[in-house]
Amino acid sequence: MIRTRVLSLPRRAKQGVVGVVDVCLAALALWLAFAFRTETVQWPQLSHGWVYVLAAGLSVPVFVRNGLYRAVFRYSGMAAMLALAKSVGTYAVLFAAVLWLWAPVGVPRSVGLLQPVFFLLLAGGVRVLARQWLSAQSASMRSREPVKRLVIYGAGAAGVQIAMALSRAHEFALAAFADDDQAVQGRSINGVNVYSPLELPELIKSQGVTDLLLAMPSISRERRLEILNQLEKLPVHVRSLPALADLAHGKIAVSDIKELDIEDLLGRATVDPDPGLLPHAIAGQTVLVTGAGGSIGGELCRQILSLAPDKLVLLEHSEFGLYAIHRELEQLRERMGVAVVLCPVLCNVQNETKVMEVFKNHRPSLVYHAAAYKHVPLVECNPAEGVANNVFGTLNVARAALVVQCKAVVLISTDKAVRPTNVMGASKRLAELVLQALAGVKALRATDGAAAMRRVDDMMSTQTRMVYPNRTTFSMVRFGNVLGSSGSVVPLFREQIAHGGPITLTDAKVTRYFMTIPEAVHLVLQAGAMAKGGEVFVLDMGQPVRIFDLARRMVELSGLTLRNASNPGGDIEIKVTGLRPGEKLYEELLIGNDPQRTAHPRIMMAHEKMVPWDELLPKLTELSRAANTQNIAHIRDVLLELVDGFTPGELIAQPYADSGFDNNNGSTGTHP
């Protein structure tokens, strides 16, 4: 086809073709101007030749100077037409001035005014026709694929802008607008009718609508959830535009269309931070985050960066994870315009010597300890590694904090630490006990006598004992699952839905507490700011969510249907695979009862039993020896003795000795 050949030409050749066309149009406009002025139609006269040369020779340089030949015809719009009008205006001034000063006999000066008018009409008309002709080629190529028919929910500025972008992209065919505002219902926007949301079921059926775009970025979260609940049962794939703050720069484009936010899947309003409780003491301080490359650690870094610390130390044992978060924070720092020193450190918290070296070099004031092995089945199969990282990694961080006299250490804990049924949860509860015991040592020094203090000192390492009395405050923040984190069900379910299913679910009755990563980190920062020493803060995560309901909501908001006994022709099946080793049907956030309220309505303080340091330390020594020698049975025995409510299932991992591995030559570990 001719269009295909034109589109395949080199860019210089295309620009040359357009230039030749403009020269011809300038000459044609001049001929029309003569005909209009003299009211006669005749061939161009030889005496007018130099005027034709002037018109043609003047148009191309002016258009080149104004960048008209850099535009792509099939994507040009109103901005290109305005640029053309400005260029023809410049051309008109120059052309009329030359004719006014040097017009030969027989050339009316009014031609200098008429010719640019005809030229603008011809050049603009040709460009519009070329755009339609060339765009038809792309449309015909796409027409071989099924076109998605779309309804835009929201007939405001965002909806209109995205409709204009969609008209050029040809990915969707816009069927209608829907809007709650009765003032716009029944009207049309660029030829597209606006309907009431109540008419959507019939409209979707009659128009064959496949997708619905929620284009109302400025509405409240509560109203957004109301709309999504109404749309949930409609057989369309629901998409959205980002929040208004994310669209502040530039116009809305097709690339802004995305899957629903994780907050939309949560089914409740997110928790906003209380500005009055944000830890303003972070400003100007050195802050260290362990596990900085993880989901929670990374978000901690982002939010801490916005509070303008003097230095932010990123401690991470994954090279790629550290690279990714460091690069992201550098870009974020530039956008925020804050002068924060970023220090990426490759380090495993199990390496006591390296951790101590990092703390002595940077001397952080505040430490947020997010580094942990958290995947239940993996830790269940590797209990020694889980204990070494979660328990003794925490102890290494705490000791280093004592040595450099950090102001505060905040441990990121988990609801799986409450009456755990797996090694991961038990190891996190033991990490809490370690910090509670160290906080208890600080309190003991303030109240007890010298004899008790000597007994505790004998249990402490030499380098830790040297810094007492100390001012380090230890606290823990316990919360449940975060949507969107590594290992979260949401990315997994999305991937399974995209592949046509099935969605794998361990049990139809499984429930979990959920928060989004940003709101969990907001509360972590605020809880840490309230700490006095030894507190176990618990985040109020609302009502637990049934995972089956979350999966069903994701399927339905994707415009698909569940395949089950009552609907065998459905699109996606939810397949129950059985509980994994160490997994619970229900998670809890509190071990005891009657949690204490704090200054924040969504942060509670738990009353948890603690183990004194002089009783805990010998058991930690046993546990360290068992972990170093891969004595998994003894690891479980120590955890059973220390962690209240620990009810392990069948022993999954077997000691290396059973497979011929010499326990005495195992990897070295950390001793308390």
Q: What tokens does 491 get? A: 């990315």
**Mean local confidence (pLDDT), 451-478:** 57
pLDDT(397) > 70: yes
State the pLDDT confidence band at 246, using cuts at 50, 70 and 90. very low
> Which tens digit of pLDDT belongs to each residue from 294-310?
989 999 999 999 888 99
d(CA 218, CA 211): 21
pLDDT(411) > 50: yes
618 phi, psi to nearest 5 deg: -60, -35
Nearest Cα residue to 23 out of 52, 50, 51: 52
Which pLDDT score, from 0 to 100, does residue 328 have?
A: 94
147 CB-contact burial (10 Å; exposed 0-12 / middle 13-18 / buried 19+):
middle
Nearest Cα residue to 228 out of 194, 267, 201: 267
**Mean local confidence (pLDDT), 484-494:** 67
**Mean local confidence (pLDDT), 258-274:** 55
Which pLDDT score, from 0 to 100, does residue 566 have?
A: 80
Q: What percent of the chain has pLDDT over 70?
A: 69
660 CB-contact burial (10 Å; exposed 0-12 / middle 13-18 / buried 19+):
exposed
Selected residue with higher pLDDT from 653 and 340? 340
**Are 541 and 266 in contact, with CB atoms under 8 Å apart?**
no
Which pLDDT score, from 0 to 100, does residue 273 have?
A: 58
SS3 state at 311: strand
Which pLDDT score, from 0 to 100, does residue 250 have?
A: 43
Radius of gyration of the chain (CA): 35
- Phi and psi based region of residue 208 (left: phi greater than 0; alpha: psi -120 to 50; beta: remaining): left
Number of other residues whose CB lies within 10 A of the CB of residue 579: 15
**Mean local confidence (pLDDT), 523-550:** 77
Q: What is the mean pLDDT of the chain?
A: 75
Report how far Cα 506 is from the mean position of its chain's Cα atoms: 27
Give the per-residue SS3 of 145-212.
CCCEEEEEECCCHHHHHHHHHHHHHCCEEEEEEECCCCCCCCCEECCEEEECHHHHHHHHHHHCCCEE
Residue holding tokens 């109020």?
Answer: 540
**Mean local confidence (pLDDT), 103-109:** 65
**Mean local confidence (pLDDT), 71-86:** 61
Selected residue with higher pLDDT from 271 and 190? 190
Selected residue with higher pLDDT from 190 and 40? 190
**Mean local confidence (pLDDT), 251-265:** 50
pLDDT(345) > 70: yes
**Mean local confidence (pLDDT), 187-208:** 85
Which pLDDT score, from 0 to 100, does residue 415 have?
A: 81
User: CA torsion 668→669→671→672, rounded to 10°?
Assistant: 170
- What's the farthest any 2 CA atoms get from each other in the chain? 120
Give the per-residue SS3 of 243-309.
CHHHHCCCCCCHHHCEECCHHHHHCCCCCCCCHHHCCHHHCCCEEEEECCCCHHHHHHHHHHHHCCC
Which pLDDT score, from 0 to 100, does residue 367 have?
A: 95
| Type of residue at 578 | G
d(CA 378, CA 375): 6
pTM of full prediction above 0.95:
no
State the pLDDT confidence band at 443, using cuts at 50, 70 and 90. low
> Which tens digit of pLDDT belongs to each residue from 583-604?
656 555 544 456 677 777 777 7
Q: What tokens does 463 get? A: 């380098």
pLDDT(170) > 80: no
CA 92 to each of CA 57, 59, 60, 103, 358: distance values in angstroms, whole numbers, following the listed order: 13, 9, 13, 15, 71
**Mean local confidence (pLDDT), 488-501:** 76
Which pLDDT score, from 0 to 100, does residue 591 have?
A: 47
